[in-house]
Amino acid sequence: MDTIKSVKGFKDFFGLDAEIFEAIEKTLFGVAEAYGYKRIILPVVEYTELFSRSVGEETDIVKKEMYTFTDKNERSLTLRPEMTASVARSYIENHFETYPTPFKVAYLGPCFRYENPQKGRYRGFYQFGVEAFGDDSPLLDAEVISLAFSALQKFNIKGLKVKINSIGCRKCRPNYRKALVDALTQHYDELCSDCKRRLETNPMRILDCKKESKELKDSLPKTIDYLRDECKDHFNAVTNYLISMNIPYEVDNTLVRGLDYYTRTVFEVISEDLGSQNALLGGGRYDYLIEELGGRPTPGVGFALGVERLIEILKAQKFTVKEKSIIYIAYQKSSITKAIKVAQTIRDAGFTVLVDTKCGNFKNQLERSAKRNAKFTIIIGESEIASNTLQIKNMATKEQKEIKEVELLNALKERQNA
Ligand code: AMP
């Protein structure tokens, strides 16, 4: 019979990948907490309109990449392609404006985009992110970048670069849009069919179309030259704060990012270890998002990081996860009740315990313990039960010692770091 494979573009996490995933989750939420972010857990399915209104009708994500379906009630639903829109929806729906500002949340969860799978790009992938609402201070932009940077520093990642730009606000846009359309009109024949349409509907999206050449994009007008004083000052303040925070950055005036909701600051952290899909995380400010989703005008800023890409970098840099040592329990069949009880006691004290399930003779049980790389094997036989003792065997040195049962926990704790 044919076996069933996973869906193209989706992957399983096990072994080292799963261990690194867990380490990432722990570290990122730990750093986010240190900046005052609380975890938010959101549904993977939303009404499609949420993404068309926020990410933008003209983006590749909404136009081509969403997993959209109608439910039995003929409502159009979508598996979330990203999470900022969901957080914003939740902000409005749950009245987070009643909490002190900035209102800060962090999340981790699966996202779905029907993209061409390749290294670093999947159809099902995980994003970790943070969002802060209700404050347009440039300090918050810098703090969000600093959070991302400190989290990555915890893993000692080398070769990271922060790229930053400002794309201005609503008031800067008309002048920029005009200059961009003028420049693009001269290259009309070179544009792909999508971009020919975008020239009318949303010309800024042409700047992150994967089909247009870098030469063309580099030759186009830059948002930074069309910023009003207020946006220019905001951007300068962000970069000055980054300097005070000792965060190395590079202004990249070609950076615009692929979603419609961004305003002012946009940034990415890229890694040399990632190849062509080199953006490890991306984010920015989105001061109109809440308003565009029907809430009261509320500024916001955040970023999202691709967990699979971080796992790839960590593996390339030979990151190892310190495994907890295993305590193995070998016993004679008649001692099984004691074996179960001892296992429970040491698990409750925080140790990882494997009880041999096949039982049989001690030689085989010790072989299985060695295969599991157990640090110690506790041996329980009839004579140990009679004398309320246990044998504890160090699997590396092969040294075996008899100890009183009541002394077991202390004996393990003493030997734990030996
Ligand atoms: P975005 O939501 O497009 O700004 O992406 C934020 C981050 O999510 C990127 O920097 C990537 O690390 C990650 N990411 C986005 N799309 C994918 C994908 N298809 N597969 C894997 N990671 C992705």
> What is the per-residue pLDDT across 68-113, written as a single tens digit (0 to 9) for each?
999 999 999 999 999 999 999 999 999 999 999 999 999 999 999 9
391/337 same-domain check: yes
**Cα 343 to ligand 1 centre (Å):** 43
Give the closest residue (by CA) to ligand 1 atom 4. Answer: 282
231/297 same-domain check: yes
pLDDT at 157 over 80: yes
Mean pLDDT in residue range 115-124: 94
307/340 same-domain check: no
Query: Which ligand 1 atom is at minimum distance from the Cα of 281?
Result: 10
Take residue 352 and report the two structure tokens written for it: 């990882």
Mean pLDDT in residue range 321-338: 93
Give the closest residue (by CA) to ligand 1 atom 23. Answer: 306
Give the closest residue (by CA) to ligand 1 atom 13. Answer: 306
Q: What is the pLDDT of residues 46-69, one digit of tens each?
A: 999 999 999 988 888 998 999 999
CATH number at residue 362: 3.40.50.800
CA triplet 236, 292, 96: central angle to 5 degrees? 85
Instruction: State residue 299's pLDDT score.
Output: 97
Residue 82 CB less than 6 A away from ligand 1: yes
Q: What is the pLDDT of residues 260-316, one digit of tens each?
A: 889 999 999 998 777 777 889 999 999 999 999 999 999 999 999 999 999 999 999
Distance CA 401, CA 149 (A): 49
User: Contact at 8 Å (CB) between 255 and 207?
Assistant: no
269/401 same-domain check: no
Cis? peptide before 117, omega within 30° of 0:
no
Cβ contacts of 400-403, under 8 Å, gap ≥ 24: none
340/285 same-domain check: no
Length of the chain: 418
pLDDT at 254 over 90: no
Residue 368 CB less than 6 A away from ligand 1: no
CA triplet 156, 160, 163: central angle to 5 degrees? 145
Query: Which ligand 1 atom is at minimum distance from the Cα of 127?
Result: 8
Distance CA 392, CA 376 (A): 7
Contacts of 31 (CB under 8 A, 6+ apart): 147, 150, 151, 154
269/300 same-domain check: yes
234/156 same-domain check: yes
Closest Cα to residue 293, out of 52, 72, 127, 76? 52
Distance CA 210, CA 46 (A): 27
Instruction: State residue 418's pLDDT score.
Output: 63
Mean pLDDT in residue range 325-332: 96
Using pLDDT thresholds of 50, 70 and 90, give the confidence band for residue 14. Answer: very high
Residue 252 CB less than 6 A away from ligand 1: no
304/351 same-domain check: no
DSSP 250-291: EE-TT---S-TT-EEEEEEEEEGGGTTS-EEEEEEE-TTHHH
Give the closest residue (by CA) to ligand 1 atom 10. Answer: 281
Which of 274, 297, 316 is a domain's end point? 316
CATH number at residue 281: 3.30.930.10
Instruction: State residue 274's pLDDT score.
Output: 79
Residue 123 lies in a domain: yes
Residue 220 lies in a domain: no
**Cα 306 to ligand 1 centre (Å):** 5
Residue 96 CB less than 6 A away from ligand 1: no
Q: Domains in the chain: how many in total?
A: 2
Instruction: State residue 49's pLDDT score.
Output: 96
Q: Is 298 left (phi over 0), alpha (psi -120 to 50) or beta?
A: beta
Using pLDDT thresholds of 50, 70 and 90, give the confidence band for residue 159. Answer: confident
Residue 115 CB less than 6 A away from ligand 1: yes
Instruction: State residue 303's pLDDT score.
Output: 98
Give the closest residue (by CA) to ligand 1 atom 11. Answer: 306
Q: Which residues constitute the domain of residue 295?
A: 16-172+227-316
Q: What is the mean pLDDT of the chain?
A: 94
Taking the CA atoms of the chain, what radius of gyration do you get in angstroms? 28
Take residue 167 and report the two structure tokens written for it: 């794309």
Say whether pTM exceeds 0.85. Answer: yes
Give the closest residue (by CA) to ligand 1 atom 12. Answer: 306
23/166 same-domain check: yes
Residue 5 lies in a domain: no
Residue 51 CB less than 6 A away from ligand 1: no
Q: Is 285 left (phi over 0), alpha (psi -120 to 50) or beta?
A: beta
- Tell me the percentage of the chain whose pLDDT exceeds 90: 82
pLDDT at 395 over 70: yes
Which of 262, 296, 316 is a domain's end point? 316
Instruction: State residue 50's pLDDT score.
Output: 97
369/241 same-domain check: no
Which of 298, 316, 334 is a domain's end point? 316
Instruction: State residue 275's pLDDT score.
Output: 76
